[in-house]
Amino acid sequence: MDNRSLTRFAWLSIAAAVLTIVLKTIAYLLTGSVGLLSDAVESLVNLVGGIMALAMLTVAARPADDNHSYGHSKAEYFSAGVEGGLILIAAIAIAVAAIRRLLAPQPLEQVGLGLAVSVAASLVNLGVALVLLRVGKRHRSITLEANAHHLLTDVWTSAGVLVGVGAVALTGFERLDPIVAIVVAGNIVFTGLRIVRRSISGLMDASLSASELSAIRQVLESYEREGAHFHALRTRQAGARGFVSMHVLVPGDWTVHQGHQFVDRIEHDVRRVVPNVHVTTHLESLDDPASWTDQGIEDPRPSDLNG
Residue 167 scores a pLDDT above 60? yes
Residue 306 scores a pLDDT above 50? no
Supply the angle between the helices 3-31 and 34-60 in degrees, to the nearest 10: 170
Could you give the CA distance from residue 111 to residue 234 in angstroms, rounded to a whole number? 57
Residue 264 scores a pLDDT above 90? yes
Answer yes or no: do 137 and 102 share one domain.
yes
Domain edge (last residue) among 150, 176, 203: 203
Regarding beta strands 241-250 and 277-285, do their DSSP bridges make them parallel or antiparallel, or are they unpaired? Answer: parallel
How many domains, the chain? Answer: 2
Residue 263 scores a pLDDT above 90? yes
Cα distances (angstroms) measured from residue 226 to each of 223, 265, 270: 5, 12, 16
pLDDT at 303: 45
Q: Give residue 150's identity as a one-letter amino acid code.
A: H
Answer yes or no: do 42 and 183 share one domain.
yes
pLDDT at 305: 44
Cα distances (angstroms) measured from residue 240 to each of 11, 133, 144: 19, 14, 10
Answer yes or no: do 11 and 106 share one domain.
yes
Answer yes or no: do 104 and 251 share one domain.
no
pLDDT at 107: 65
pLDDT at 249: 94
pLDDT at 72: 77
Q: What is the CATH number of the domain that holds 179?
A: 1.20.1510.10
Q: How confident is the model at residue 40 (pLDDT cuts 50, 70, 90)?
A: confident
β-strand partners of 243: 236, 278
Answer yes or no: do 245 and 172 share one domain.
no
Answer yes or no: do 81 and 215 share one domain.
no
pLDDT at 155: 80
Could you give the CA distance from residue 147 to residue 81 in angstroms, rounded to a whole number? 11
Could you give the CA distance from residue 295 to residue 251 in angstroms, rounded to a whole number? 17
Q: How confident is the model at residue 218 (pLDDT cuts 50, 70, 90)?
A: very high
Question: According to the per-residue pLDDT averaged within each range, which of 62-71, 140-149, 225-234 is highest?
Answer: 225-234
Residue 304 scores a pLDDT above 50? no
Domain edge (last residue) among 203, 237, 272: 203
Answer yes or no: do 236 and 299 share one domain.
yes
Taking only the tens place, the pLDDT of each residue in 111-137 is: 567 677 778 888 898 999 999 989 888
pLDDT at 111: 59
Give the residue with greater pLDDT, 104 vs 148. 148
- The widest CA-to-CA distance across the chain, in whole angstroms, is 86
The total of other beta-carbon atoms located within 10 Å of residue 164's CB is 24
Answer yes or no: do 220 and 272 share one domain.
yes
CA R_g for the chain:
26
User: Domain range for residue 237?
Assistant: 210-306
Q: How confident is the model at residue 147 (pLDDT cuts 50, 70, 90)?
A: confident
Question: Minimal CA–CA distance to 165: which of 179, 151, 149, 150?
Answer: 179
Residue 254 scores a pLDDT above 50? yes
Could you give the CA distance from residue 137 to residue 130 in angstroms, rounded to a whole number? 11
Q: How confident is the model at residue 106 (pLDDT cuts 50, 70, 90)?
A: low
How crowded is the C-beta side of 40, counted as CA atoms within 13 Å?
22
Q: What is the CATH number of the domain that holds 249?
A: 3.30.70.1350
Assess contact for 144 and 240: CB atoms under 8 A: no
Assess contact for 237 and 244: CB atoms under 8 A: no
Answer yes or no: do 215 and 190 share one domain.
no
Domain edge (last residue) among 169, 203, 237: 203
Q: Collapsing DSSP states into helix, strand and coil, what is residue 285?
A: strand
Q: Where are the alpha helices (DSSP H) in the chain?
A: 3-31, 34-60, 75-103, 111-138, 142-171, 176-203, 210-224, 256-273, 302-306
Residue 163 scores a pLDDT above 80? no
pLDDT at 41: 73
Question: Minimal CA–CA distance to 285: which of 241, 250, 235?
Answer: 250
Assess contact for 208 and 242: CB atoms under 8 A: yes
pLDDT at 26: 83
Question: According to the per-residue pLDDT averaged within each range, which of 23-27, 36-40, 112-116, 231-235 is highest?
Answer: 231-235
**Residue 175 DSSP class:** T
pLDDT at 296: 64
Q: What is the pTM of this model?
A: 0.61
